[in-house]
Homo-oligomer: A and B are copies of this chain.
Amino acid sequence: MNTPSQPSAYAPLKNDTFIRACLRQTTDYTPIWLMRQAGRFLPEYRATRAKAGSFMGLATNVDYATEVSLQPVERFPIDAAILFSDILTVPDAMGLGLSFAEGEGPKFAHPVSNEAAVAKLAVPDMDKLRYVFDAVTSIRKALNGKVPLIGFSGSPWTLACYMVEGAGSDDYRLVKTMLYSRPDLLHKILQINADSVAQYLNAQIEAGAQAVMIFDSWGGALADGAFQQFSLAYTARVLAQLKREHTGARIPRIVFTKGGGLWLQEMGRLDCDVLGLDWTANLAKARAIVGDTKALQGNMDPNVLFASPAQIQAEAIKVLDSFGTPYAGSGIGPTHIFNLGHGVSQHTPPEHVAALVQAVHEYSRKLRS
């Protein structure tokens, strides 16, 4: 892979709070960013989206993807940017034919529903995903060192859910039927997905991503036992192949399993720097279970953002207090990255996000003094 520009040519990072917190280093305050921050709750996003015509038109156009990735960073003093893209770009590059019908979720024209379809599956040519890597480089340049850029991918299991179901699902009947009746086929898909995701994230790192996150959005749908075998094991397989550093900088890795709170002990053994948590988790308990080996990211209910700014502030303080003091003296220890427990809702008033960011920054500074 050639990357379009030398990463060393990028501007130095002015705000490294997020990266430091990922690596469990002291920071002056608790950094914050929001999942789906480049999204529909922002009027400027909706304007760009209208220009682009469609969701994929937005995601595949480097200029538009750059524009929307920068929008939340320009509006709020958040501590990280995240690549605007979709989690289903990788199976699309495998030839499954991704589309987004208006008002519906993603759909694949060619779901992987039988043995013949599995046999045809392979790690895609990364050149088919060049639009993503070009976007990463373009966003990194446009950020000009303001905050770090996070790259991401869906987890092997989460991709498999969509690939087998052909769309979103509320019971995962098709992929779980495969899991329980033809586990060999599902393992084959997951191996291919894991190796694809690893190549995909490494290419994002080479293109300029300063941290990477694996979204295991549907890991929480699995039964105990099945989660370890069909999700966690393949997330570990991705992590084992990821570049740890690029041009001398550590590249932190974040793993987020929505609904994975029951498996935190096992997730604590993953070779990653940060574990993301949804709002069902108790940060103090999570910290006690995971120990000092990982930073924790999360976990306010996105619905808090529909309350008043004063109530948002109170809930943000609860979350910060629940995590507690970041480190006790040693200068290295468990750290907290504030986030929501899931993506920000499209119905969120942008000024409520401003109130949240301010509350987290102010109160977390106080916590340290």
Residues of A within 8 A of B (CB): 171-173, 176-177, 179-181, 220, 222-227, 259, 261-262, 279-282, 299-304, 306-308, 311, 315, 318, 322, 341, 345, 347
Give me 30 A-to-B residue pairs in the complex whose CB atoms sit less than 8 angstroms apart, sorted by A's number. A171-B302, A172-B303, A173-B303, A173-B306, A173-B345, A173-B347, A176-B303, A176-B306, A177-B307, A180-B304, A180-B307, A180-B311, A180-B315, A181-B306, A181-B308, A181-B311, A220-B280, A222-B279, A222-B280, A223-B280, A223-B299, A223-B300, A223-B301, A224-B282, A225-B322, A259-B259, A261-B261, A261-B262, A262-B262, A262-B281
* Cβ contacts under 8 Å, A179 to chain B: 303
- Which residue of B is nearest A225, CB measured? B318
- Which residue of B is nearest A227, CB measured? B280
* Cβ contacts under 8 Å, A302 to chain B: 171
Shortest 8 CB-CB distances between A and B: which pairs?
Answer: A176-B303, A223-B279, A180-B307, A177-B306, A181-B307, A223-B301, A224-B282, A261-B262
In the complex, what's the smallest C-beta–C-beta distance from A302 to chain B, in angstroms?
8
Identify which of A222, A227, A299, A304 gathers the most chain B CB atoms within 10 Å of its CB. Answer: A304
* In the bound complex, CA of A155 to CA of B127 (Å): 53
In the complex, what's the smallest C-beta–C-beta distance from A283 to chain B, in angstroms?
8
In the complex, what's the smallest C-beta–C-beta distance from A306 to chain B, in angstroms?
4
* In the bound complex, CA of A222 to CA of B300 (Å): 11
- Which residue of B is nearest A176, CB measured? B303
In the complex, what's the smallest C-beta–C-beta distance from A163 to chain B, in angstroms?
17
* In the bound complex, CA of A225 to CA of B179 (Å): 34
In the complex, what's the smallest C-beta–C-beta distance from A301 to chain B, in angstroms?
4
- Which residue of B is nearest A281, CB measured? B224
* Cβ contacts under 8 Å, A225 to chain B: 282, 318, 322
* Cβ contacts under 8 Å, A181 to chain B: 306-308, 311
* In the bound complex, CA of A347 to CA of B171 (Å): 11
* Cβ contacts under 8 Å, A223 to chain B: 279-280, 299-301, 341
* In the bound complex, CA of A346 to CA of B262 (Å): 28
In the complex, what's the smallest C-beta–C-beta distance from A82 to chain B, in angstroms?
21
* In the bound complex, CA of A22 to CA of B69 (Å): 55
* In the bound complex, CA of A20 to CA of B281 (Å): 35
* Cβ contacts under 8 Å, A341 to chain B: 223
* Cβ contacts under 8 Å, A307 to chain B: 177, 180-181
* In the bound complex, CA of A197 to CA of B81 (Å): 48
* Cβ contacts under 8 Å, A345 to chain B: 171, 173
In the complex, what's the smallest C-beta–C-beta distance from A360 to chain B, in angstroms?
16
Q: Judging by beta carbons under 8 Å apart, are B180 and A303 in contact? A: yes
